[in-house]
Structure 1
Amino acid sequence: MVSLPRIAPMLATPGKLPPASVDDAYAYEVKQDGQRCIVYCPGDGTVVLRSRSGADITPAYPELAGLGTALGSRPAVLDGEIVALDGEGRSDFERLQSRMGLAGSPARAARMVTKIPAHLMLFDIVFLDAHDLTRSPYAERRTALESLVLAGAAWSTPAAAVGHGQQALDMTRTAGLEGLIAKRLTSLYEPGVRSRAWIKIRHVRTEDIVVGGWLPGHGRLTSLPGALLMGQPGPDGRLHYVGSVGTGWSDTERTTLATLLDTAASDTCPFTERPTAAGARWVTPRLVGEVRYATRTNAGRLRHPSWHRLRPDLTPDHLG
């Protein structure tokens, strides 16, 4: 049996559509809204799923175990996104959240399979048989992936369209999807790198942030967060303050956040620059969330941010 290499996922850089003059040098894939996953199939019928952070999440998704059988004796390392689909076939991160974090509770994960089934969208292959494909161009890797004809009840290989980027982007907007990933056909697979060869084009601007503190709400909400103080790791590895967010969550989400903040309470401000926020309460910076925003100020603050969701699949060490 072949020993499979551990490979960190290649990441896309936020940006705009490539210019029309180079449109046909890119393939366009629908941006999925789920949990990134590297899939290890050693060729003996087994499967190991690892998240972006490298954690083993295999027990959380028992419906994906059959992928190893589908590949047969061919050892492979695949790249994809685990999603939960809504009634219209769109990936819905909020639905998926109830499936995440169950790697330590296989019995509960098994019960959730029928309630909220997970689906693995495969979009790349980085190892096949005895061959490392990371130095092969994207176009060749896609050909190899599609040749495996991986299509099942719990996994599929969505199409990638070469060229026609504007049409593809318009289609995703009309369909209510998050956006596109543009991938240069000649691009190599760069493990662990946020590469400019892959561009993610979203219909709204979003950022992953780290929660470093919070401000209590007013009135009946004094025990709950009225705003979260946000940071992002800088090149120096320290947490830099990027503003506060106080809108966008439901009452249920606010209560969930309050519990998480309470368990992470700290006496120390984690930011390099202490925010001028009266009554701020600090937390150990381990909680990651995603916010929508309008623009950035010259000082790096996020303007008009709105809370989008928790990101339990990410840790501060894996941002950037």
Structure 2
Amino acid sequence: MDLPLIEPMLATPGSLPPAAQDARWAYETKQDGQRAVVYLEGDGRLRLRARSGEDITGAYPELAALGGALGDTAAVLDGEVLVLDADGRADFQSLQSRMGLAHAPGRAARRAAETPVHLVLFDVLHLEGRPLLREAYQERRRRLEGLGLAGPYWSTPAALVGHGERALRATREHGLEGLVCKRLDSVYRPGVRSRSWIKIRNTLGVDVVVGGWQPGRGRLTGLPGSLLLGQFDGAGRLRYVGHVGTGWSEAERRELAALMGSYATAVCPFDPVPAVAGVHWVLPRLVGEVRYSTRTRLGQLRQPSWLRLRQDLTPEESSALLPGAPDGQRPG
């Protein structure tokens, strides 16, 4: 069967629906992985396409058996490829070692044995020769769950109807990336970032020390395009934890440029020196607050965004651990 190529529908960043409308929405865990549209050909073959349209089937050989899970029933499904850590949470850093291997079957097979992936399925777009895009989410979800797709490397996690506050609180308590809210009567709109799907990302806030900056381009020439961030460890060494390039107004950017100019130094304040090019180093005197989604295993901040300059804190105070919050982080 020739299955139609379908672009994935996208969610819009936002907040929980109003309490009065809560019962009209379903809530799914937001996953930190690689989006994949899944094509079950009905003859045992499986194809996976990334959001870009690239065929990524070869990168994940452990998913091949899913091709026969529905027998001769052809289907197009929507899902996310993850690597799960020991606590069952998505580990995007580990997944990165699996991505990009679609045309390297030998390496993909070795990585599959070392770091297997898990595919979570959350929508069905085409089934038994019939397009389901105009069906309501509630109906598509019923059909998906009826397929009983659960295996060693794939599953169909439940969606919760109503109780959005409780669902969001649970994702925060379990250290998950966030929540996706989906209107029960919404149709599937390929390639569209729709308000019928709302994503809520759980973020964390942390105080960091500025250790350098990279110049911007174009209208930002001469101004910081990004700041290099660090935190002091128990031995008093400033450890690099990533860089931030968003969250400033133009006035804040100019203020930071002036302050960093007065702290310029030829010596890198980070230990060890990060492998980042084109950096202007500064003395570690400025403290800022950023929000971010998660940390990598090495402590790097993922998706940080600048919040404000903390002129009320010294660098040493910024690295004080908060009660009950490891490595200086706190819920945001």
Q: Normalized against structure 2, the TM-score is what?
A: 0.67
CA distance in 2, matches of 1:253, 1:184: 48
- Partner secondary structure for residue 71 of structure 1: coil
For 1:189, the equivalent position in structure 2 comes to 188
Given that 2:214 and 2:225 are in contact with CA atoms closer than 8 Å, whether structure 1 keeps it comes out as no
Given that 1:30 and 1:181 are in contact with CA atoms closer than 8 Å, whether structure 2 keeps it comes out as yes
For 2:21, the equivalent position in structure 1 comes to 22
The one-letter code of the counterpart of 1:249 is G
Query: For 1:39-188, what aligned pairs fall within 5 Å after superposition?
Result: 39-188=38-187
CA distance in 1, matches of 2:134, 2:169: 32
Query: For 1:308-319, what aligned pairs fall within 5 Å after superposition?
Result: none
For 2:303, the equivalent position in structure 1 comes to 291
Query: Deviations along 1:248-282, whole A, 9 cap, x unmatched?
Result: 33999953x65xx9xxxxxxxxxxxxxxxxxxxxx
Given that 1:36 and 1:51 are in contact with CA atoms closer than 8 Å, whether structure 2 keeps it comes out as yes
CA distance in 2, matches of 1:109, 1:79: 22
1:10 equivalent in alignment to 2:22? no
**Post-superposition offset of 1:114:** 1.9
**Post-superposition offset of 1:230:** 8.9
- Partner secondary structure for residue 88 of structure 1: coil
Given that 2:182 and 2:198 are in contact with CA atoms closer than 8 Å, whether structure 1 keeps it comes out as yes
CA distance in 2, matches of 1:128, 1:113: 29
**Post-superposition offset of 1:71:** 1.5
- Partner secondary structure for residue 143 of structure 1: helix
Q: Normalized against structure 1, the TM-score is what?
A: 0.69
- Partner secondary structure for residue 187 of structure 2: coil
**Post-superposition offset of 1:159:** 0.6
For 2:226, the equivalent position in structure 1 comes to 244
CA distance in 1, matches of 2:66, 2:224: 42
Q: Provide runs of 4+ in structure 1 moved above 2 Å.
A: 226-231, 241-255, 289-292
- Partner secondary structure for residue 79 of structure 1: strand
**Post-superposition offset of 1:291:** 2.2
The one-letter code of the counterpart of 1:162 is V
CA distance in 1, matches of 2:77, 2:13: 23
CA distance in 2, matches of 1:290, 1:105: 28
For 1:32, the equivalent position in structure 2 comes to 31
Can you give the 5+ residue segments of structure 1 that lack an aligned partner in the other structure?
A: 207-216, 219-225, 232-240, 262-288, 297-320
Query: Deviations along 1:51-107, whole A, 9 cap, x unmatched?
Result: 000001000000010111112111100000000000100011111010011112110
**Post-superposition offset of 1:227:** 3.5
The one-letter code of the counterpart of 1:244 is S
Query: For 1:273-284, what aligned pairs fall within 5 Å after superposition?
Result: none
CA distance in 1, matches of 2:274, 2:132: 44
CA RMSD of aligned residues (A): 2.8
The one-letter code of the counterpart of 2:50 is S
Given that 1:229 and 1:245 are in contact with CA atoms closer than 8 Å, whether structure 2 keeps it comes out as no
The one-letter code of the counterpart of 1:119 is H
| Residue 198 to residue 23, structure 1, CA distance change in 2 (3 Å) | same
**Post-superposition offset of 1:199:** 0.2
CA distance in 2, matches of 1:229, 1:155: 43
Given that 1:230 and 1:245 are in contact with CA atoms closer than 8 Å, whether structure 2 keeps it comes out as no
Q: Looking at CA atoms only, which structure, 1 or 2, has the larger radius of gyration?
A: 2
Given that 1:45 and 1:73 are in contact with CA atoms closer than 8 Å, whether structure 2 keeps it comes out as yes
Given that 1:50 and 1:57 are in contact with CA atoms closer than 8 Å, whether structure 2 keeps it comes out as yes
- Partner secondary structure for residue 303 of structure 2: strand
- Partner secondary structure for residue 65 of structure 1: helix
- Partner secondary structure for residue 182 of structure 1: strand
- Partner secondary structure for residue 134 of structure 1: coil
The one-letter code of the counterpart of 1:177 is L
Given that 1:205 and 1:292 are in contact with CA atoms closer than 8 Å, whether structure 2 keeps it comes out as no
- Partner secondary structure for residue 113 of structure 2: helix
CA distance in 2, matches of 1:154, 1:229: 43
The one-letter code of the counterpart of 2:55 is D
Query: For 1:264-279, what aligned pairs fall within 5 Å after superposition?
Result: none
CA distance in 2, matches of 1:68, 1:34: 21
CA distance in 2, matches of 1:229, 1:292: 17
Identity of aligned residues (%): 56
- Partner secondary structure for residue 22 of structure 1: helix
The one-letter code of the counterpart of 2:51 is R
Can you give the 5+ residue segments of structure 2 that lack an aligned partner in the other structure?
A: 206-210, 230-240, 244-270, 279-300, 309-332
Given that 1:205 and 1:294 are in contact with CA atoms closer than 8 Å, whether structure 2 keeps it comes out as no
The one-letter code of the counterpart of 1:291 is Q
- Partner secondary structure for residue 246 of structure 1: strand
* Matched pairs, number: 239
